[in-house]
Structure 1
Amino acid sequence: MNMKSYLWVFILSLITCTGFVSAQSQIKISATVGSLTLLPCDCRNLSKAQSSSESPHVQWRTNSETVFERQGEKLYQAEGYEGRVDVPEDQLLKGNCSLVLKDVRAEDAGVYESFLVVKRSKRDLAPKHVFLHRVELSVDAPETPNNESSDSGSKSRSHTGVIIAVFVIVAVVLVLLSLGLWKFKARTYFANEAQGRYSSPQSD
């Protein structure tokens, strides 16, 4: 094993130790259903150990599956996460491996872990997964806007107002009809009385 190989093993050992220490800390993120959130990750220091000609290979996992993976233009999105997760390539080249999660769902809640996938040497076929960050995501139900409750209250009040207005109109119409009928009967009565009073008695 030459000096370069020893140096590479030493660098990987430092990375592994750093990952072990980082594993003790956990970032907590809260998001609302339907929103967009960012699971933070920084791999600037670790990605320098790779060849400058290679694009960083980042992977995000949950306890049950690999959610996202990117190396250059090649990417993988797990079932149920299609079109909702991404680590933009331009950001990854800068050492920012934060996971963008769109249209957050209740089932997205859980612990997410990010890894940098590196090759230990040309002879090794299996790459090494170096731990980066652990993020705990909690998902809250969307809040009901106050204007919806106020709108429902105003609608109920408007319905009550319409019912009262209709009742008043009907009552007024009935009163007017009663007055009209009473006037008509009064006029008929007085007309009959006047006709009987001023008509001349018939002679025998």
Structure 2
Amino acid sequence: MTMNTMTSLLYTTVILCVAACAGSFPAPSRIFMSARVGSSAVLPCDCRNMSTQTPHVQWRTISETVFERRGGDLYQGERYEDRVDVPEDHLLKGDCSLELKNIRPDDAGVYESYLLVRRKKRSLRSQRVFLQSVELSVDETPEEDFSDRVAVADEAGVTSHYPQIIALSLLSSSLFHLF
């Protein structure tokens, strides 16, 4: 084997290893969703593994609190009044999913849910425990055009990295044949 062939083979091996490893790292805990203007969406969240008598859940965007519930007490952010809820009966069963109605274009963004847990029995301060991140995109396309779109995502809403791996494999193979 010549030096160029060995170098090319080494580059190809490194590129293939990097491409294969790219799909093996755990994805961040973010779900991607899309909803049409005027429709409703349920931003998923599960807190069944958290042990608390009266769950205190909070949904936030980067700039504001969207919704908060502890038992029968609730808070709805100003922009979200009468459009958001985490039903109390669902929350008591560990389902902290946020129901968002009458979606508007400015509802697009990243929503994060937290469980607020008291640090000590007598403490008034709470600790926020991250639960879920949901990125909502809002589609303003009329209903008849919306059904024509096709998204490539798995059941959890995570986009596949296989096209990138295939592209890198083809590139490395081409490089190998050049040298």
Q: What TM-score, normalized by structure 2, do the two folds share?
A: 0.64
Instruction: Give, in angstroms, the shift of residue 125 of structure 1.
Output: 2.3
- Find out whether 1:85 has 2:89 as its counterpart: no
Aligned CA RMSD, in angstroms, stands at: 1.7
Q: Equivalent residue for 2:127? A: 128
Q: Equivalent residue for 1:194? A: none
The answer to which structure, 1 or 2, has the higher relative contact order (CA under 8 A, 6+ apart) is 2
SS at match of 2:80: coil
Q: 1:87 to 1:23 in 2, by over 3 A?
A: farther
Describe how 1:1-204 pairs up with structure 2 within 5 A: 24-46=28-50, 48=51, 50=52, 54-143=53-142, 145=144
Q: Which has the larger radius of gyration?
A: 1
Is the Cα–Cα contact under 8 Å of residues 23 and 134 in structure 1 kept in the other structure?
A: no
In 1, distance between residues paired with 2:29 and 2:47? 16
Instruction: Give, in angstroms, the shift of residue 75 of structure 1.
Output: 0.3
Q: 1:87 to 1:34 in 2, by over 3 A?
A: same
**What runs of 5+ residues in structure 1 fail to find an aligned partner?**
1-21, 147-204
In 1, distance between residues paired with 2:104 and 2:68? 20
Is the Cα–Cα contact under 8 Å of residues 111 and 135 in structure 1 kept in the other structure?
A: yes
Is the Cα–Cα contact under 8 Å of residues 55 and 72 in structure 1 kept in the other structure?
A: yes
Q: What TM-score, normalized by structure 1, do the two folds share?
A: 0.56
In 2, distance between residues paired with 1:77 and 1:142? 28
Instruction: Give, in angstroms, the shift of residue 24 of structure 1.
Output: 2.5
4+ runs of 1 displaced by more than 3 Å? none
Letter in 1 for 2:54: S
More strand by share: 2
Q: 1:144 to 1:39 in 2, by over 3 A?
A: closer
Percent identity between the aligned chains? 62
